[in-house]
Structure 1
């Protein structure tokens, strides 16, 4: 096993992202984009072709570092996010992750029975996922204090959907059948995943991640009661088990449930530092509901980037106005940037956030 590099990290030159997550004062609203290192960038596509395939790119720490930094060379972003995938944990559980052209992620071994769950071993993050930790340390060194580095994981519920369905799903019939017919089996799976995510994120923090985000991509497909039991309860357990201070400063935690705007109060009670909000929730209403407890991150519809520069700037201005003056906002898209987005339009978006937000922090 290759050990993560041990280097003295440079002090941060731009910490407004971390300050905003902790609801501290900033000069302008910080901005980054989910999936900011991705297929919409021609330089990313070239590096991915060099790697051979997506998983090989994730597991090559030099190339993972390269693509993490690519968007920072184009845009005035306030954070970098580790280039990796949410399915690294199930992959480390020997489920045989692979990617099919046009079909997305697939697993050779699917989890459907009590025995399947009992056979799963919680991975040792620093051994079984050492390539991720090596990439984190490599990226931190290459950033040289330019901006903070975000680590991340999928939520237990979201990881479980892929493991039980065998890949992506439109109706989630297998995992919902398990949830209603054999809830104890699903709880046992989610318990192992919560342990795995906690140790995984803590390993990322020790390796150099300065903030972490939990991506609950599929929590929004649940009813309120089922969300509380099968998604939020496990994320709350993870948040409680995370390292919250490292390298002499706080490590903020962001919790993001896509289509979860109706549950913001319950999510805030789980005690993350910030909540991600997608474009289906008004950011001003979200601030009224939970802004005294957590920072808010979001929430422009990624499809706005298909519009004209003038329309993009108008949308940024509207979201800033709806949030209003004061602290506790991180600007982002409401989900990942689309692969067909124009990079020049992404630059308009990022620059507009900085330019138009200054008056709200005077």
Structure 2
């Protein structure tokens, strides 16, 4: 370790070091389970208003760091910023989730008018956070992976089984490939902009990767993520890339070996002992406590934490949840998790 540089434990693990205790951050750690977030949202308005307000978004990014001292800060934003920049209109409907218009199941991608300046507030948020973040805290940027982003763009909203996008991929593969390519192009520039503004590492979220058959997974998850990772590595060889293909199951092995990502995230359905045996030796992994175990708390939480740590004790490990923290999670349970991890 360079004595003249701050020790970013999480960044070191993403680069292949083993640390004990493992560094920790929690997906969606900046959000509705925190009273300070709820107070700011009541003051500022809707989710999208806050995501595009650099001062508010920076404050939200920093809130869980101040409260818990996590080893990583994750940019407060949303994966649908990219389709918004590509030209779809984005709204969030209370109690129902995001809406993109027009849905590309019925409209042509070529009819959208790009609005790339919609990315600029996100870069300003990164700059603001970086100026206030302690030098020991790793700053994580992110984007949605092309498949998951495409599912929203095609349907115009979230869907249970992603059928509209899956059907387009089968029946109009050239049209769907054009959409994936456009998302890739913007995502590469978007991640590069975040890195230039100050993030230390980036994560590619593929929340709906588990809905695809193996051949489709290879075409629409592995290959786009491989191309994005290669482009980022060509520009920023020292910036780690975390890939998180939720629901990939056994396909996670091919993902890890073929995409070029530096680390893989495990969702809560993955047996960490299996992952430890199946994934490339020495590859950093992130995860994978069940978010519901964190809600449950007590002995059940303590046992679940120990099980994850024990299974991954021989490789670089970033402790995290298997998916996002739920809004009903008691703050005391997060504190207990951290105390257990850190031996307090």
Counterpart of 1:109? 102
> 1:311 aligned to 297, 300, 307, which one?
300
Note the alpha carbon deviations across 1:88-137, whole angstroms, 9 max, x for none: 01111221100111110002311125x6122346664xx33100000001
Give 1:265-304 correspondences, 5 Å limit: 265-269=253-257, 270-292=259-281, 294-304=283-293
Counterpart of 1:206? 196
Alignment gaps of 5+ in structure 2: none
CA distance in 2, matches of 1:12, 1:213: 23
1:14: Cα distance to partner?
4.1
CA distance in 2, matches of 1:12, 1:245: 22
Give 1:79-98 correspondences, 5 Å limit: 79-98=72-91
SS in 2 for 1:196: helix
CA distance in 2, matches of 1:191, 1:122: 15
Counterpart of 1:7? none
C-alpha contact 1:12 1:148 (8 A) present in aligned 2: no
> 1:256 aligned to 231, 244, 261, which one?
244
Deviating beyond 6 angstroms after TM superposition, the runs of 4 or more aligned structure 1 residues are none
Compare 64-73 and 290-299 and name the one that shifted more. Answer: 290-299
Counterpart of 2:110? 118
SS in 1 for 2:108: helix
Higher RCO (CA 8 Å, separation ≥ 6 residues): 1
Q: Could you state the TM-score of these two structures normalised by the residue count of structure 1?
A: 0.89
Q: Indicate whether 1:339 and 2:327 are aligned.
A: yes
Note the alpha carbon deviations across 1:189-247, whole angstroms, 9 max, x for none: 0010011111110110011010000000001111111111112211111000004776x
Note the alpha carbon deviations across 1:134-186, whole angstroms, 9 max, x for none: 00010010104140110000011111100111111013222122111111110
Q: CA RMSD in A?
A: 1.8
Q: Could you state the TM-score of these two structures normalised by the residue count of structure 2?
A: 0.94
SS in 2 for 1:250: coil
Residue 293 and residue 25 in structure 1: after superposition, are their counterparts in 2 closer, same or farther (change >3 A)? closer
Q: Indicate whether 1:139 and 2:132 are aligned.
A: no
C-alpha contact 1:160 1:190 (8 A) present in aligned 2: yes
> 1:59 aligned to 52, 69, 75, which one?
52
Compare 307-316 and 263-272 and name the one that shifted more. Answer: 307-316
